[in-house]
Amino acid sequence: MIGEGTQSTNQRRHNYVQENVEVGFFTDPTVCIGCKACEVACKEWNQVPDDGFTWSGNSYDNTGHLGASTWRHVMFVEEDRQKGNQIVGSHSLGSGNGEDPFRWVFLSDVCKHCEEAGCLEACPTGAIVRTEVGSVLVQNDVCNGCGYCVVSCPFGVIDRRPEPLADAGGAFKCTFCYDRQKSGLVPACAKVCPTESIVFGRLDDLRARAAEHVQQLQQNGYRDAQLYDPQETSVRGIHAFFLILGEPEAYGLPPKPQIPTIYLKSAWTSAIATAIASIIATLVAFAFFS
Amino acid sequence: MPGLGTSFGRGGATTAQQDVANADCILIEGSSMAEAHPVGFRWVMKAKERGATIIHVDPRFSRTSALADIWVPIRAGTDIVFLGALIRHLIENDLFFREYVVYYTNASCILSDEYRDPEDNGDGYFSGWNEEKHAYEGESWLYKGGDLSRPERDLTLQDPQCVFQKLKRHFSRYTPEMAEKVCGIPPELFHKVADALVAASGPEHTAAVCYAVGWTQHSKGVQIIRAAAILQLLLGNIGRPGGGILALRGHASIQGSTDIPTLYDILPGYLTMPHKGDETLQQYLDNYTKKTGLWAHYPEYIVSTLKAYYGTHATAENDFGYGWLPKLTGNHSFFEFLYDMLDGKMEGMFLMGQNPAVGAPNSRLQRKALSKLKWLVVRDMVEIESANFWRESPEIDRGELKPENIETEVFFFPAAGHAEKEGAFTNTQRLLQWREKAIDPPGDCRSDAWFVHQLALRLIAKAKASADPIDEPLRALDWWYPEDSLGDTNMEAVLAEINGWHTLEEKENVERPTSNAQHPTEDGVVFGVDRNGEPHHGPQVNAFAELKADGSTACGCWIYSGVFGRDGVNKANLRKSRDYLGHGWGFAWPSDRRIIYNRASARPDGSPWSERKKLIWWDSEKWTGIDVPGFVKGKAPDYEPEVGAEGLDAIPGDAPFILHEDGLGWIYVPKGLRDGPFPTHYEPLESPVSNDLYSHATDPAVNWFTRNENRFAPPGDARFPFVLTTYRLTEHHTAGGMSRFLSHLAELQPEMFAEISPELASELKINKGDYICIVTLRGAIEARALVSRRIRPLRINGKRVHQAALPYHYGTAGLVCGGTANDLLTISGEPNVTIMEAKALTCNIVPGRLPHGQAFAEFLNKYAPQAGQISLHPEEPSVSTGTSGGGHASEGKE
């Protein structure tokens, strides 16, 4: 919870890597203030280059989306809906009765570190591995830049870095600050989050805490609060899960993310069926003409 | 900070940021705390987690509003009407905290019969206005009889001459309907706020108020803060946990820079800078020493300061060197000397940590002024606009200035970054936090302290070689500081001097230190050896109570005393919090007190108001509790001073505001302000409407700084129909020197934009992302249109008023560039602190791009004709020529 200081799981040292503890991020937009400290801390620690000085005009979001050079991305969602019981003026001209809902929600997006990771399954070189803490890590010295992982990620997270940026060609994404974690440190984004909207910790703890939190929020008027943690689909759960207000689509999150390999069975079945059918057809043709 | 200073006694936030977590309601107004103070905002979120109601009042739905429970949109510059309506609501409905108000505030004090309120004739003036001097004479504002230390009181609050009745009358017309008419706040929304505040008042509850430059940067900024102070006193929220007023400071050590001031009119610890007429120390002391309250010790503080300045050169015989202090002859603020620069009266300037070419109002004029200097020293980490204005400014592009004609010689000194130097920051909650040096600065980069130290050494050497009497103050300076291998001063030695010590003159038998290698000595001497290896000073003082007026103590800043005492522990560097107020982490002035005026956290009889809100209390022998008591430790709650008592002995046992002569919180300020004892609504100097409350639209005592290049649009000028306000983004730091040059910050907000409502965008046929020009009488800039429902039009007195909001970080240097919002502002002077009105003015918006080169002048002239009368506002003093209208020429105008 906010204000635990050095006792917070976002601040205290840990041995999760040594003890093979599954860890996660729980990100909560109801306390996010959109400061983007997570984006900056991530780039600073991981020496990720800037990727353009382009103004978007899309609220305060000039980052746009996750990618090879953006491993944390704070979304700024402006909607004509109410947030909890929030009172937003009541001054719309003419009506003036408060029935003029508006809300501004900030959510810090990141690699989901899927239980079944599309990128990892697609990687032909073994560059993408699963770590002791359950996160998915790209080993950039092994990656050959084939890009199979890019199309295999159901969330559009991983990407190849374009020229002329440093290390162009290779695929990059959030490392879950594996290097920091090995030394008992908390990932940079969680460490700097001033309101603990990003919480780092044991995945089981976080899930329990999140479930309780979402119930509380619903009691406090956030009727559309829900957890985004798809465990029923082929990704079978994610290590970086979110609380969201409203529907996942508003945050660019797929409601039912699937990894491409689940289509293998049907793809192979139809391929084999086609093969068999064409062999039969050929045989039949030969039989017919002969 | 005279708003807080005159209300409570000290010019600093009354509470600690951590303590905001204990509030039951938080009113944030004049600040986008989540954006400008994101780390401190965690305590607001903590309070919200615990069930507090968060209210944000702001023209713009900002990131702070997004996290608030209630967002109240307001027309920029009308805060006093809104706060005044809350004050009236509390009084009319008897919802104020009566016991607190009766005993702890001056609501019961009887005023002089001479006092006249703006209500008396509706013109907006208090009694005592002197038209000729364009200033108030405040004698009629004093309590009855003129003695501030022993006011006549009526504890029933019924006497028609008592402050409470005058307050009631003063705000009688500030109704919710008036707030709707003037601020654009519908009554139902007003009542939501009022109900939340009232629910968070009383023995069991508290509410906190947070503000920043959204209140200070107005032509009546001090009075807006005063209105909040009155509100908090009526609610009984000062000196109590989860209460208070948190003045949020915009830089790492802005509080520090008023405590140990970079201001022209105060000395360290809020001692008054001598004025012309205060010729001898005795005259000075007669003028500023108070008979009762803590300021009765003024002589101790000023003499110890002089001893810190001049060391053994300061003696009782020479008034401790008082004569060497310069005496003020007028307003010497930044704006006054800016005009002197423009008029060729000033030759050179040092700029350290400031970028006026972007960050100061009317920055076109600022850049022009820089071009008139003979020399300019800029110390910064990067080559900011104030250093390269002679080759890259918009004026060069437009041909208004030509590099070959600018004679300014610019000396650029590279500065060390914050990790490359040591020293203390004093943050927003009066907390000194020490920062150690992580690494030596690269190349020739050096700290500011190094620069000042090295400059001082050279100037002192020059002065010593001269016989000119004017150099005497430099020759007398006690410049003793030990230095490191880079030639930088040992900053802990400076802190030791700030804390204060006993001088060697005091005791001849004290063990004299022979080196700085080991300290503290047994006697408590810290860094006791000067640059020549000679013993320099005696043991440290542990608190300002030890300071003496006889020259036996020296102290660089009396309010910081205790930070580095005889135990030799630099308390600014402590890093182990013991409690929720952070004791054990850093050092908060005064005396490590985290919530000041905390005597008010207990009832008059000394018991806590409630278990839930207890902080300090009387345990039948002494004051004790969670915080350091801000009261004489053994003074019983029922203590009554004897007639003729002086100093703290004159303060009763139930009077928490011990810096005031009467020990009371000042709902009414009988002395110390230049524009009235009560806050009064005046329109901004540029406003789309006239004043609905008084016939005089603007604060009468304001300084307009009228000049041809600094013209004000009259009320309701159809050429400038929109309200303009400026603000700060989380992603950038003020004038941008520390953010626009860093890729990881610059990419987050890479271009100048203006926030406008969909309604205004459709009226002007502007689409999201279009280029638009924002025009005022001072200039025009280009921005991208950020169209959002976060800004909405207001209905003001039946008229639809649009507001536009601009971030002010951009300039012409760095990785990302853009129009400088400050080009559009006026230079103006709030009567008490000479701050400009940056948060409320009027503008026009023209779709399309801003012409480059010489076409700019034509464009500006089309929308804001540059010729003609200089004074356009009917209340502006008329000026016939285009030269300075400021006060610098009129000596002694104060």
Of residues A2, A44, A50, nearest to B42 (C-beta): A2
pLDDT digits 0-9 by tens, B825-872: 999 999 999 999 999 999 999 999 999 999 999 999 999 999 989 999
Please check whether residue B64 lies inside any domain of the structure: yes
Closest residue in A to B794 (Cα) is A91
Please check whether residue B186 lies inside any domain of the structure: yes
CA distance B70 to chain A (A): 5
Average confidence (pLDDT) over B393-406: 96
Note whether B43 contacts A3, CB cutoff 8 Å. yes
**pLDDT of amino acid B892:** 30
**pLDDT of amino acid A2:** 75
A165–chain B Cβ distance below 8 A for any pair: no
pLDDT > 90: percent of chain A: 82
Q: Are residues B197 and B303 in the same domain?
A: no
For testing the chain B interface, which of A1, A38, A48, A53 should be mutated: the one with the most B CBs within 10 Å? A53
Q: Are residues B73 and B179 in the same domain?
A: yes
CA dihedral (B145, B150, B151, B152) positive or negative:
negative
Note whether B784 contacts A55, CB cutoff 8 Å. yes
Contacts 24+ apart (CB under 8 A), B289-292: B290/B148, B290/B149, B290/B661, B291/B149, B291/B646, B291/B650, B291/B661, B292/B149, B292/B150, B292/B645, B292/B646, B292/B647, B292/B650, B292/B651, B292/B661, B292/B662, B292/B663
CA distance B593 to chain A (A): 21
Query: Which residues of A fall within a CB distance of 8 Å from B70?
Result: 86-87
Query: Which residues of B fall within a CB distance of 8 Å from A2?
Result: 42, 45-46, 49
Please check whether residue B202 lies inside any domain of the structure: yes
Query: Which residues of B fall within a CB distance of 8 Å from A33?
Result: 34-35, 38, 41, 45, 63-64, 66-67, 730
Using alpha carbons, list the distances in angstroms from residue B149 to B145, B165, B358, B647, B651: 11, 21, 46, 10, 9
Average confidence (pLDDT) over B180-207: 96
Closest residue in A to B577 (Cα) is A5
Which of B588, B623, B638 is the last residue in one of the domains?
Answer: B588
| DSSP letter for each residue of B718-779 | TTS-EEEEEE--TTS-TTSTTTTT-HHHHTTS-S-EEEE-HHHHHHTT--TT-EEEEE-SS-
Question: And the tokens for A42?
Answer: 């991530």
What ipTM does this complex have? 0.93
pLDDT digits 0-9 by tens, B24-36: 999 999 999 999 9
Note whether A1 contacts B743, CB cutoff 8 Å. no
Please check whether residue B289 lies inside any domain of the structure: yes
Closest residue in A to B757 (Cα) is A92
A99–chain B Cβ distance below 8 A for any pair: no
**pLDDT of amino acid B505:** 75
Contact B686, B842 (CB under 8 A): yes
Q: From CA B380, how far away is CA B811, in angstroms rounded?
A: 16
Q: Are residues B113 and B7 in the same domain?
A: yes
pLDDT digits 0-9 by tens, A251-270: 999 999 999 888 877 888 88
**pLDDT of amino acid A195:** 95
**pLDDT score of B122 more than 90:** no
Query: Which residues of A fall within a CB distance of 8 Å from B750?
Result: 52-55, 62
Please check whether residue B88 lies inside any domain of the structure: yes
Note whether B189 contacts A62, CB cutoff 8 Å. no
Phi first, then psi: give them for residue B782, nearest 5 degrees.
-105, 145
A94–chain B Cβ distance below 8 A for any pair: no
CATH for B240? 3.40.228.10
Q: Band of the pLDDT at B890, cuts 50, 70, 90? A: very low
Q: Which A positions 183-222 lie with beta carbon below 8 A of chain B?
A: 194-196
Q: Are residues B235 and B289 in the same domain?
A: no
**pLDDT of amino acid A288:** 80
pLDDT > 70: percent of chain A: 96
**pLDDT of amino acid B894:** 27
Q: Are residues B190 and B296 in the same domain?
A: no
Note whether A106 contacts B42, CB cutoff 8 Å. no
SS3 B522: coil
Q: From CA B598, how far away is CA B208, in angstroms rounded?
A: 15
Q: Which A positions 71-90 lie with beta carbon below 8 A of chain B?
A: 78, 80, 83, 85-90
Contact A175, A138 (CB under 8 A): yes
* The CATH number, out of the four listed (3.30.420.40, 3.20.20.100, 3.90.1150.10, 3.30.70.20), of the domain defined by the range A5-254: 3.30.70.20
For testing the chain B interface, which of A8, A43, A50 should be mutated: the one with the most B CBs within 10 Å? A50
pLDDT digits 0-9 by tens, B61-84: 999 999 999 999 999 999 999 999
Contact A156, A64 (CB under 8 A): no
**How many domains does the structure of chain B reveal?**
2
Note whether A52 contacts B747, CB cutoff 8 Å. yes
A11–chain B Cβ distance below 8 A for any pair: no
Q: Are residues B56 and B143 in the same domain?
A: yes
CA distance B578 to chain A (A): 12
Of residues B43, B69, B748, nearest to A62 (C-beta): B748
Query: Which residues of B fall within a CB distance of 8 Å from A53?
Result: 746-747, 750-751, 815-816
**pLDDT of amino acid B887:** 41
Q: Are residues B293 and B242 in the same domain?
A: no
Closest residue in B to A95 (Cα) is B186
H/E segment holding residue B357: helix B356-359
Q: Band of the pLDDT at B879, cuts 50, 70, 90? A: low
Note whether B61 contacts A104, CB cutoff 8 Å. yes
Note whether A89 contacts B71, CB cutoff 8 Å. yes
Q: Which A positions 103-122 lie with beta carbon below 8 A of chain B?
A: 103-106
Note whether A196 contacts B768, CB cutoff 8 Å. no
pLDDT digits 0-9 by tens, B342-371: 999 999 999 998 999 999 999 999 999 999
* A26-47 burial: b if 16+ Cβ within 10 Å, else e: bbbbbbbbbbbbbbbbbbebbe
Q: Are residues B27 and B65 in the same domain?
A: yes
Q: Are residues B323 and B200 in the same domain?
A: no
**pLDDT of amino acid B509:** 57
Note whether A50 contacts B747, CB cutoff 8 Å. yes
Q: Are residues B218 and B307 in the same domain?
A: no
Q: Band of the pLDDT at B172, cuts 50, 70, 90? A: very high
Q: Are residues B129 and B233 in the same domain?
A: yes
Q: Band of the pLDDT at B883, cuts 50, 70, 90? A: very low
Closest residue in B to A60 (Cα) is B749
Domain that holds residue B320: 274-327+430-439+467-588
- The residue that leads in pLDDT, A6 or B86, is B86
Taking only the tens of pLDDT, chain A with its 290 residues reads 677 777 888 999 999 999 999 999 999 999 999 999 999 999 999 999 998 999 999 999 999 999 999 999 999 999 999 999 999 986 544 444 556 789 999 999 999 999 999 999 999 999 999 999 999 999 999 999 999 999 999 999 999 999 999 889 999 999 999 999 999 999 999 999 999 999 999 999 999 999 999 999 999 999 999 999 999 999 999 999 999 999 999 999 999 999 988 887 788 888 899 999 999 999 888 888 77
Q: Which A positions 229-248 lie with beta carbon below 8 A of chain B?
A: none
Of residues B186, B729, B789, nearest to A90 (C-beta): B186
pLDDT digits 0-9 by tens, B296-329: 999 999 999 999 999 999 999 999 999 999 999 9
Between B176-183 and B79-92, two packed helices, what is the crossing angle to 10 degrees?
Answer: 170
Average confidence (pLDDT) over B434-438: 96
Q: Band of the pLDDT at B331, cuts 50, 70, 90? A: confident
Q: Are residues B192 and B79 in the same domain?
A: yes
Whole-model pTM: value is 0.95
Q: Band of the pLDDT at B763, cuts 50, 70, 90? A: very high
Contact A119, A127 (CB under 8 A): no
Note whether A91 contacts B746, CB cutoff 8 Å. no
Please check whether residue B416 lies inside any domain of the structure: no
Note whether A80 contacts B189, CB cutoff 8 Å. no
H/E segment holding residue B283: helix B281-288
Count Cβ–Cβ pairs < 8 Å, chain A vs chain B: 147
Of residues A2, A57, A196, nearest to B784 (C-beta): A57
Query: Which residues of A fall within a CB distance of 8 Å from B72?
Result: 89
**pLDDT score of B518 more than 80:** no
